[in-house]
Structure 1
């Protein structure tokens, strides 16, 4: 319309200034003379005439097509007439073989809108702009993403909570969409935001919260009892959107937030050692986003959140345990069954019932209030997660079971059993036999319970350097490394002694042949100790039996 207004203005100007005729104006501006007369009559171009359907072929079938389109008013959304179906029915029921698809499509597109408009029901959804009060509402959703973990590229889920007023959002990544992840995400979000929305939080109909959708005029739901307990603890109400894609617009803020955050902070695919490391990065990214400004708003997200934060409901003083509490029994393999996966516990608890807190990313096993085992949660069905440390006391008496132990295979794969352990084990078996060498290795593995892994590995390498195969030597060298790491001063060394300092195993020295050279020591030629010299300290000796009889004979 703007270009036609400019055309009319130029035509009127040329006519006014130069006095050109209609024919000359039409030739100069390359338009029809009718257009020139319209421009000279009015500066405003006339409205375009609405094109009316003039096809004669479709006129006999117009009533039939209108009837089909009106029947769609009460039909289910996925069972309405398409143009292909209308044409097929016209051919089958009315022998309309001369009609083309394009002719029917043009007529249907025009008449469908008119028929729906006659009933007052627009075909397209109409969205009503909403104004949110500060601190009142939030929205929650999960989004999919992939993460490169040490085990490979893994599908994970991004939990997002977004405040409706300020747009401030909190994101956390979890391996599943389980109820444990759902609750942990809420706790992390409430803690980061410093409070709880006062009115409501909007959700999809997640199984973690809703067990059944009751269809009707109102939004009735049957909620999960543990979810109801969580809502009651934190004091907020839940608003559940319409099922399916029809209800996505009811929490459109968080629907778009998940994609925006993923594109800006999770591209390329993040490569991390664990999801805990990734969540620390996401927390920093959330705070960095406080400086961004949402389209259509004057102030930044952080400035608006500063207003909203003061109006949130304070957090409860008591903490809520998000993990599911279970009470399995330890089987004869020192394992507990949790959600179709088996996790190891110390062997001394075989046959006893223990408490298990199943969380989003970890499994914590307790005996009373004492934590006896902690594992990373497995998502695979039928998986075994075994810790070699839980079987060391048993392996001490059954050393032959260690080479083929599943726990050893997993320890190697996870990096807990290093090449230094393997080298020490091979040297110990060569020196002490299979059973003896394995027991020495187990003594070394027991050092990990109270010493850092790096210190024990350093002790292993130091022992292997001089050919020592005793756990005592590894322990001494590991403590040296521990003291060095702690910054403690080392023992003074006698610089006048030019002999080579070597690592000495006291156990080997005590049990070995006194004349043998062990660990670099010279042969011991000293005589064996004796207590004969101490007999001189006795004040007197008791007379023997012969001397007593002789004394008695003299008296007689």
Structure 2
């Protein structure tokens, strides 16, 4: 962040560019300058601008950005302004060349400390555009800033997620538990995540009017399970479920036993069983005697020559 009038710079380093980290950097910048500017110009970043629109149309802003700007009482200007874009982007090159170049750091805190040690050197220089010492001009800049509010505004990411059958909710490749007695499988819950905490809310208020389901510390990394064992109270334990190891063949219940003719019918339907059934053999003359008919014969008539 750069103060436009004096070019007084601020820089902090982070490992994330999500919504919460973005506005955490704002709070650090306000503390560095000692106040809040009346207007902040953005380059239409997604954490501030919901979508791009045609020139002249109203820019739709992110709800959390609107709430943050309202809490700190500054105006958001998210317009394409090439005349002012270089004032911020130039600072990136200056910090890279004078703070980071040729040095190794083991943590984010070391980088922030290196920038804080370099700021007095930067403020002692004469700026090439306005021709004054940056520190002298920054004094007038800081006086014009608005005071900080008594309480900070904590911005959180908000998402809707489904509850699993095990009362776990997936967010950012991690799982967080919710009370089993307050939710049902596939129910939608709202997640509000900050840099250090994840809270889960019901989308439908309870009888008392509260919607908070659970609050957990935010997991570091991926694949973690943040579970409160008390949340699983109410889930089926499986104590009454019949199980088998596969060594013993389960016996059918009495009402499932086959009838007297079911065995023979099953044997006929089974090829292997039908092949083992012995069938009696008798000549066809036996059937002729039983029916009183003669056996069918064919006499070929001879044709006399004419």
Deviations 1:187-222 (A, max 9, x none): 211121111112x22211111111233213x36312
Output aligned runs, 1:321-340, within 5 Å: 321-325=154-158, 336-339=169-172
Residue of structure 2 aligned with 1:214, choices 24, 48, 53:
53
Kept in 2: contact 1:332–1:350 (CA 8 A): no
Kept in 1: contact 2:179–2:213 (CA 8 A): no
* Cα distance in structure 2, aligned partners of 1:333 and 1:269: 49
Shift of the 303–210 alpha-carbon distance from structure 1 to 2, 3 Å rule, reads same
* Cα distance in structure 2, aligned partners of 1:240 and 1:326: 24
Output aligned runs, 1:504-543, within 5 Å: none
Deviations 1:125-168 (A, max 9, x none): xxxxxxxxxxxxxxxxxxxxxxxxxxxxxxxxxxxx10011111
Instruction: Quote the offset at 1:349 in angstroms.
Output: 6.0
Instruction: Quote the offset at 1:371 in angstroms.
Output: 6.0
Match of 2:85 in 1: 251
Instruction: Quote the offset at 1:306 in angstroms.
Output: 1.5
* Cα distance in structure 2, aligned partners of 1:310 and 1:371: 40
Kept in 1: contact 2:69–2:75 (CA 8 A): yes
Match of 2:21 in 1: 181
* Cα distance in structure 1, aligned partners of 2:168 and 2:115: 35
Match of 1:294 in 2: 127
Is residue 179 of structure 2 the alignment partner of residue 373 of structure 1? no
* Cα distance in structure 2, aligned partners of 1:320 and 1:251: 27
Match of 1:317 in 2: 150
Shift of the 210–365 alpha-carbon distance from structure 1 to 2, 3 Å rule, reads closer
Match of 1:49 in 2: none
* Cα distance in structure 2, aligned partners of 1:282 and 1:189: 13
Shift of the 211–366 alpha-carbon distance from structure 1 to 2, 3 Å rule, reads closer
Match of 1:163 in 2: 3
Kept in 2: contact 1:195–1:314 (CA 8 A): yes
Gaps of 5+ in 1: 1-160, 395-556
Shift of the 167–369 alpha-carbon distance from structure 1 to 2, 3 Å rule, reads farther
TM-score (norm 2): 0.57
TM-score (norm 1): 0.33
Is residue 72 of structure 2 the alignment partner of residue 234 of structure 1? yes
Instruction: Quote the offset at 1:174 in angstroms.
Output: 2.5
Gaps of 5+ in 2: 184-188, 201-211, 233-306
Deviations 1:230-281 (A, max 9, x none): 2222222222332xxxx444321111111111121122364324x3553344
Kept in 2: contact 1:219–1:240 (CA 8 A): no
Kept in 2: contact 1:357–1:363 (CA 8 A): no
Instruction: Quote the offset at 1:289 in angstroms.
Output: 2.9
Match of 2:174 in 1: 342
Output aligned runs, 1:40-439, within 5 Å: 161-198=1-38, 200-216=39-55, 218=56, 220-242=58-80, 247-268=81-102, 270-273=104-107, 275-325=108-158, 336-339=169-172, 341-343=173-175, 357-359=192-194, 362-365=195-198, 372-376=216-220, 378=221, 383-386=222-225
Shift of the 289–183 alpha-carbon distance from structure 1 to 2, 3 Å rule, reads same
The structure where helix makes up a greater share of residues is 1
Instruction: Quote the offset at 1:327 in angstroms.
Output: 7.6
Shift of the 325–221 alpha-carbon distance from structure 1 to 2, 3 Å rule, reads closer
Shift of the 207–269 alpha-carbon distance from structure 1 to 2, 3 Å rule, reads farther
Kept in 1: contact 2:179–2:214 (CA 8 A): no
Shift of the 287–351 alpha-carbon distance from structure 1 to 2, 3 Å rule, reads farther
Instruction: Quote the offset at 1:170 in angstroms.
Output: 1.3
* Cα distance in structure 1, aligned partners of 2:37 and 2:82: 21
Shift of the 240–351 alpha-carbon distance from structure 1 to 2, 3 Å rule, reads same
Secondary structure of the corresponding residue to residue 365 of structure 1: strand
More RCO (CA 8 Å, sep 6+): 2
**Count of matched residue pairs:** 214
* Cα distance in structure 2, aligned partners of 1:356 and 1:276: 29
Kept in 1: contact 2:64–2:155 (CA 8 A): no
Shift of the 349–366 alpha-carbon distance from structure 1 to 2, 3 Å rule, reads same
